[in-house]
Chains A and B, each alone.
Chain A
């Protein structure tokens, strides 16, 4: 009984997989040129979808993202380089579409911000430690031995 249920489940799974594969095959005609398609996906993976902003153009199903992928294909087919295609996109949608925006006055804080925070934190830590090192022993609570306290767990 249990065996036959497992077998049915396996068959259903195989049918399901088969269905998925025929689905993937249906999308084939779009990728007429595999080389361009591969290059397109590399570029699209670096671009941010303007509609669903946490998704790359490569992953998005939004209409605009599909348009962008098609434009990238067209541009590549016309012999443009990847850089030219990126410029084509930023001319229309701005640096916003780049997941890696170029370093400029406007993006400076974005790029150096984490570094500044780290430096600030290290300076703060340094300051605190120096100050504590100068304090006399009396400024600290005496070390207590955890095992000797009556309320300790062990």
Chain B
């Protein structure tokens, strides 16, 4: 009886580890930016090349950065949700058009709707690189002092919004 106990305990321990492993996404790279100041940027506005937006302009507000591109299929999947989510513009939602052509990006917003409070243009992907973007869409929540508090990789889902993004926004605004 005792002889069987040790292999059984080992087996159960291994099973627990493997079971946990089932629900972890290995493609999700943990961001080193969490709880660190958001990287500085000076970006052209997507709509108006003459206007620039920088990180400091957004200090004092809790804002959501959504990285997207017109060539990104998963973004198209996510987009209607964002349009619906921010239809009354209650969230400071900043879009970052990543590695895109200006005309394509603008056309995309016209066609699928524009949920963004403002849109940044990042044709070379330099801003995205500083934010550690490796697959669009990606979404960041940044607090009033410009610190990154949350990162969501991949398309947002209704659950991700209600269970991750919204509680964080409530906490930061509350």
A-side interface residues toward B, CB under 8 Å? Answer: 50-51, 53, 63-64, 67, 71, 90-96
In Å, the complex CA distance between A92 and B138 comes to 14
Interface class of chain A by DSSP? helix
Q: What number of A-B contacts does a CB cutoff of 8 Å give?
A: 33
A64 close to B29 (CB less than 8 A):
no
Residues of B within 8 A of A51 (CB): 134-135
Is the CB of B68 closer than 8 A to any CB of chain A?
Answer: no
A90 close to B32 (CB less than 8 A):
yes
Residues of B within 8 A of A64 (CB): 134-135
A64's nearest neighbour on chain B, judged by CB, is B134
In Å, the complex CA distance between A96 and B27 comes to 11
Query: What's the least CB distance linking B11 to chain A, in Å?
Result: 15
B-side interface residues toward A, CB under 8 Å? Answer: 26-27, 29-33, 39, 99, 125, 129-132, 134-135
In Å, the complex CA distance between A147 and B166 comes to 77
Interface class of chain B by DSSP? loop
A49's nearest neighbour on chain B, judged by CB, is B134
**Partner pick for A96 among B29, B129, B135, CB 8 A cutoff:** B29
B134 close to A94 (CB less than 8 A):
no
A96 close to B125 (CB less than 8 A):
no
B130 close to A92 (CB less than 8 A):
yes
B135 close to A92 (CB less than 8 A):
no
Residues of A within 8 A of B132 (CB): 92-94
A94 close to B26 (CB less than 8 A):
no
- The answer to whether A94 and B31 touch (CB under 8 A), given A51-B135, A53-B26, is yes
Residues of B within 8 A of A71 (CB): 129
- The answer to whether A93 and B130 touch (CB under 8 A), given A51-B135, A67-B125, is no
